[in-house]
Amino acid sequence: MKEQNWRDFLRMKVFVRPYACQLGLMIVIGLAGSALGLVQPYLSKYLVDNALLRRDVHALMISAVLMFAATVAGSILSYVSGYGYMRVSASMLLDMRLKVYTHLHALSPRFYARARLGDLVSRLNGDVAEVQRISSDFFLTTLTNALFIAGSLGMMIWLSWKLFFVGIVLIPFSIALFRFFQIRMNLLARELRERSAAIGTLFVETLLGVRLVACFNSSEYESERFRSRNDSFVSTLMRFQSTSMLGRTVPGTLLTAATTAVFVYGGQQIIAGQMTMGTLVAFMAYHSRLLSPVQSLLGLSASLSSAKVSLSRVLELLDAPIEVTEQPDAVAVSAVHRSIEFRDVTLRHDGRAVLDDVSFEIPAGMFSVIVGPSGGGKSTIADLMVRLLDPDAGAVMIDGLDLKRTRLSDLRRTVVLIDQSPYLFHGTLYENIAYAKPFVGRVAVEQAAHAAGLTELLRGLPEGLNTVAGERGLTLSAGERQRVAIARAFLAKPEVLILDEPSAALDAACERELVDNLRWAFAGKTLIAITHKPALASVADHILYIKDGRVVEAVSV
Ligand SMILES: Nc1ncnc2c1ncn2[C@@H]1O[C@H](COP(=O)(O)OP(=O)(O)OP(=O)(O)O)[C@@H](O)[C@H]1O
Ligand SMILES: [Mg+2]
């Protein structure tokens, strides 16, 4: 599992590559800042041995000025590199989030049938932010601290190798202790993120289903479920925190013990006249400064375990395969002249054939109706026609051209599907209708609204088309939502329009008017309605009966 996680970090290189030069520059500036930090303790040796012990004021002034200059220059360089590095890493992580986001948009209904919304949001938001938090200073902190540690160790050996051994003898124990805590934290970090996602999922699911919760008096039950998930989150959080605190402090405390040893041994050397006072002061300065970068590296690798977990959760999303893809030599499609044909199409969900070796043709330029019992596979047929799904066997074709060979954007301009339960964004009715063609003029949107039978509704609304539809269009009735979706279709004016249960929420009079309007607006184009209602079928030019994933009958009127 550990090895896998490290490989995950290697996969970040596609996001790092475009910024490699800028990152490199910031790291060089950061390293220069930390090299300046290394000079300071050595200046204290000069200060003690040459200025203080020899009572030389000139030397005192020189060392004071140099110390001040080194500190200021070092701080400026660290600030510049830290700021620049943060900027670059923020851009990198934006790229990553965007990539995950566009990937999610390309995944099929099969993926979403299984995915949990709360979990997806938690990965896209929380996990990406966690990766960003760590990676925003990972390279810089690691390299500058590593340089500082290596430089300090070198200077310490140079000053007194005996003292050096006394100073570092405890370090391996400290690292071993740290590794022990780190392994525990790895496991706890994953558990923590999963528990947090479980809470998010519960929120999203019960809030989306708030009507169901109310109707079945389940509010208390849901609160109890939330409480229990929260309890297990908090208990993992506490275990994570205590492990994290122990992991940060115990190894560090061990290192502090080494400082005492250096003091004792160095003091003895000075008393015996084998070491200058300045050497011990400089050595102590290096040694005491060693603690903070070592702790910061140890702390960083602790955060790294949590970032590793988040990264693998993000990469799991990116690894979800995209089923519907466009071939490199995809061809344009802009109209249907003869027919849309299903040839020997089989589509399985979880191994069960929803459509079983189905063949039929829907003639172009006519009004066709697909009729059949619930669960018979009608909506699946619609999904196949716009390539939300691809068949497991056989082909869906426009004028003999396999849809898999067409350009996706062309196909979805040519064939438009209005879903069985149409989706509305939280925005005005205008924005919701104009979604089909965002840059079309107001007049066209109004015409589409009227053609879809929204005139009455709009007349009753003080703000007309500027009325806000509410989250998922919930300020509207089901029939009104459906008409907004149909207005979108009028605006898009595709060559082929598929309406999945267009009149399920409409009364007979509205349905009649809708069909008349559709036939008029789509005269000469291909109109396909999926329905349970025989009334719609009675006005169609072509009827297809579907049952249990098979075509029972095809009738041309
Ligand atoms: N993602 C999925 N995973 C598993 N099974 C699925 C999935 N999507 C649909 N099904 C199954 O496929 C079958 C056909 O579904 P489909 O939505 O095409 O039916 P339908 O004819 O449109 O029904 P209705 O008239 O009720 O809308 C159903 O039995 C359904 O359970
Ligand atoms: Mg359906």
Kindly list the domain boundaries of the chain, sorted by start residue: 2-319, 339-556
- C-alpha 208/C-alpha 111 separation (Å) is 19
Distance 374 CA to ligand 1 centre (A): 8
CATH class of 339-556: alpha beta
| Angle CA 67–275–284, to nearest 5 | 45
Give ion ligand 2 contacts, CB < 5 A.
379, 420
Fold observed for domain 2-319:
ABC transporter transmembrane region fold (1.20.1560)
112, containing H or E segment: helix 109-114
**Nearest Cα residue to atom 28 of ligand 1:** 375
Neighbours of 6 (CB within 10 A): 10
* Four-residue CA torsion sign, 140, 141, 144, 150: negative
Instruction: Please identify, by atom number, the ligand 1 atom nearest to the C-alpha of residue 112.
Output: 1
CA 390 to chain centre: 25
pLDDT in tens, 505-517: 777 777 788 888 8
Task: Compute the mean pLDDT over every residue in the chain, rounded to the nearest whole number.
Answer: 87
Q: Which of 347, 354, 385 should be mutated for ligand 1, with most atoms under 8 A from CB?
A: 354
Collapsing DSSP states into helix, strand and coil, what is residue 192? helix
Ligand nearest to the CA of 532: 1
Residue 5: its pLDDT value, please? 64
- pLDDT band for 366, please (50, 70, 90 cuts): very high
- C-alpha 525/C-alpha 337 separation (Å) is 9
Distance 376 CA to ligand 1 centre (A): 7
Angle between helix 20-46 and 277-319 (nearest 10)? 160
416 has pLDDT over 90: yes
**Nearest Cα residue to atom 3 of ligand 1:** 349
pLDDT in tens, 289-318: 877 787 778 778 767 877 888 888 899 999
3 has pLDDT over 70: no
394 vs 170, which has greater pLDDT?
Answer: 394
Distance 423 CA to ligand 2 centre (A): 15
What's the Cα-to-Cα distance from 281 to each of 41, 178, 416, 433, rounded to whole Å? 8, 29, 79, 76
Instruction: Please identify, by atom number, the ligand 1 atom nearest to the C-alpha of residue 350.
Output: 4
- pLDDT band for 41, please (50, 70, 90 cuts): confident
pLDDT in tens, 190-231: 898 889 888 988 988 898 888 898 888 888 899 999 999 999
Mean pLDDT over residues 375-401, rounded? 94
DSSP 108: -
- C-alpha 162/C-alpha 96 separation (Å) is 50
Distance 547 CA to ligand 2 centre (A): 12
Distance 373 CA to ligand 2 centre (A): 9
Token readout for 202 is 């519960």
360 has pLDDT over 90: yes
337 vs 521, which has greater pLDDT?
Answer: 337
DSSP 332-371: -----SSEEEEEEEEEEETTEEEEEEEEEEEETTSEEEEE
Collapsing DSSP states into helix, strand and coil, what is residue 55? coil
Distance 371 CA to ligand 1 centre (A): 14
Task: Name all residues whose Cβ lies below 6 A of ligand 1.
Answer: 109-110, 113, 349-350, 354, 372, 374-380, 420
538 neighbors 378 (Cβ within 8 angstroms): no
The percent of residues above 90 in pLDDT, for the chain, comes to 38
The end-to-end CA distance of the chain, in Å, is: 63
